[in-house]
Amino acid sequence: MHASGIDFVDPAIEASVSAILEEVEASLRDSVDNADPLVREASMHLVSAGGKRFRPLLVAVGAHLGDPARPRVTEAAVVMELTHLATLYHDDVMDEAAVRRGAPSANSRWTNSVAILVGDYLFARAADIAADLGTEAVRLQARTFSQLVQGQLAETVGPRDGDPIAHHLQVIEDKTASLIATSARFGGLFSGAPADQVEALAGYGTSMGIAFQLSDDLLDIASESIQSGKTPGTDLREGVPTLPMLYALASDDADAGSIRLRELLSMGPLVDDALHAEALGLLRESPAMKRARETVRTYADEARSRIAVLPEGPTRRTLEGLCDFISDRTS
């Protein structure tokens, strides 16, 4: 079992991926180490906080369809993680978050302006490294960032007159899955994998990215610990709509628990401790939660089907193992 919690089926791939991720970690620090002291400190704030490094992980695994030892593989992984970290600084400003990865957020430790500018700086550093990878890398990163911003904008504006559930899933595809898809694509592309396999990886990344974000949201509800990286029920307390909540609000289940849950969710942010605890308990046992788990499995299965065209072997089995990991961690 790897430190990430993922069960690698092949020790050689696990060792190779671990080595790439160690190089990524060092490169991330180097990439922000030559800046002004304030920029360096604020940039290093989230770099040092760690995180899942899921995007570099996908780059590293996908690279085993080609030659993972190519130096551009590590550079591609760094581009993806820097882009991701930049979005976190901006997200915290928009969400007025006080905590990120168990530590005070950059905007609360410094100011919103500093957090925004540091996010911009990290985007610039990612683009600088992408330029060394070639015009295709720059174009792919720019298009991914464009899709990500559209997803953030759609989330900010809300569904308006559309279906809230379809809107929510599209936001996740744009805001989260787009970067995960490009990470998987980069792994194949910069390791020299065949073009059809690179496309399969990108499709896999889209479906996996949606499943990954949905499972994170379910952990916020289901986990008794801080497995999700935040206090359980945070989304419920802050009134952030996630798929189980949307399913519950859209249901016409007539049992007393479902009716009461709809009443509570309709109140918006549940800051009252008693109401929050009641809603969290009802949501954990609701048909909506079961349906959301099934949706995660559906996207994980879809991701598995996208890589059916890949050659049978340890790389494909590792990618399939990621599907199992995402499905099982919320069951």
Give the span between the Cα atoms of 256 and 237, in whole angstroms: 22
pLDDT of residue 118: 85
Q: What is the CATH number of the domain that holds 176?
A: 1.10.600.10
Domain that holds residue 74: 11-193
pLDDT in tens, 137-187: 999 999 999 999 999 999 989 888 889 999 999 999 999 999 999 999 999
Give the span between the Cα atoms of 11 and 326, in whole angstroms: 20
Q: In terms of domains, do 143 and 282 share one? A: no
Give the span between the Cα atoms of 273 and 277, in whole angstroms: 6
Contact in structure between 180 and 206 (CB atoms under 8 Å): yes
User: What is the phi/psi pair of residue 45, to 5°?
Assistant: -55, -50
Contact in structure between 60 and 77 (CB atoms under 8 Å): yes
Residue 238's pLDDT band, with cuts at 50, 70 and 90, is confident
pLDDT > 70? residue 100: no
Q: In terms of domains, do 205 and 189 share one? A: no
Residues 6+ apart with CB under 8 A from 2: 8, 14, 17, 18
74 closest CA partner among 221, 190, 189: 190
Q: Give Cα 103 distance to the centre of its chain.
A: 19
User: What is the phi/psi pair of residue 295, to 5°?
Assistant: -65, -40
Residue type, 32: V
Q: In terms of domains, do 232 and 321 share one? A: yes
User: Does residue 248 fall inside a structural domain?
Assistant: yes
Q: What is the DSSP letter of 331?
A: -
What is this structure's pTM?
0.91
